[in-house]
Amino acid sequence: MTLVKEYRVKVIMVGDYAVGKTSLAVRFTQDRFQAIYKPSLGVDFFLKKVNFPDKGRVKILVFDTAGQEFIASLRQRYYRGASGAVIVFDLTRRETFDHLPMWVGEVQMHAGKIPLSIVGNKADLEGREVEKGEAEEFAKRHDATYYETSALSGENVQDVFHRFAVLPFQSEKTAPEDT
Ligand code: G3D
Ligand code: MG
């Protein structure tokens, strides 16, 4: 019997209210859009296992919260041990993009310098208020990767999260060899 290594990766969702954080987490972990999920008042998490044949299995824990209503006492627990953060804005609401510096600052303050994905969501809708180039430039300035997604169609949603799934293998490569 071969023992398969199992890793855990914690990914946190942040961003303004109603940008689609919960919808993206549900789309990724359950491959569906809108169902009976309850509004996130405190902290929820979603789980997905990704298999890498011959290498191991990664459990991705996606932590989701309601932005504004986020109570201070939960904050530390939310950010603790996060391997990556997905910072979401709504492509059709400019102000949600304008708030990104605040979200980046919040993540860095509580979780340190972890890999970031910036996500412009609701790409399926008309009436875009943020140009792709501008968002890409913002992401680059913050050492983040930029994605445009639709939780409705599922477009690019896997990529956002799978990027974090490979982290354990990357850190193995850079770790000193076992002797
Ligand atoms: P939040 O968790 O960031 O607060 P939600 O956001 O996931 O609750 O989504 C807020 C609203 O946006 C929901 O609509 C949801 O269906 C919608 N939404 C989320 N992602 C997308 C998307 O990619 N495309 C479109 N068209 N809509 C999206 P309601 O009507 O339930 O408020
Ligand atoms: Mg939510």
Segment 54-66, tens digit of pLDDT:
889 999 999 987 6
Looking at the whole model, is its pTM more than 0.85? yes
Contact of 160 with 168, CB cutoff 8 Å: no
- For the Cβ of 19 lying below 6 angstroms from any atom of ligand 1, the answer is yes
Segment 142-169, tens digit of pLDDT:
999 999 999 999 999 999 999 999 888 8
* pLDDT above 70 coverage of the chain, percent: 85
For the domain covering 5-178, report its CATH number: 3.40.50.300
As a whole number, the mean pLDDT across the chain is: 88
- For the Cβ of 166 lying below 6 angstroms from any atom of ligand 1, the answer is no
State the distance from the centre of ligand 1 to the C-alpha of 15, rounded, in angstroms.
Answer: 12
Between CA 58 and CA 9 the distance in angstroms is 7
Q: What is the DSSP string of 54-83?
A: TTEEEEEEEEEE-STT--HHHHHHHHTT-S
pLDDT (0 to 100) of residue 179:
44
- For the Cβ of 96 lying below 6 angstroms from any atom of ligand 1, the answer is no
State the distance from the centre of ligand 1 to the C-alpha of 153, rounded, in angstroms.
Answer: 12
State the distance from the centre of ligand 1 to the C-alpha of 17, rounded, in angstroms.
Answer: 9
Which ligand 1 atom is at minimum distance from the Cα of 121? 23
Which ligand 1 atom is at minimum distance from the Cα of 19? 3
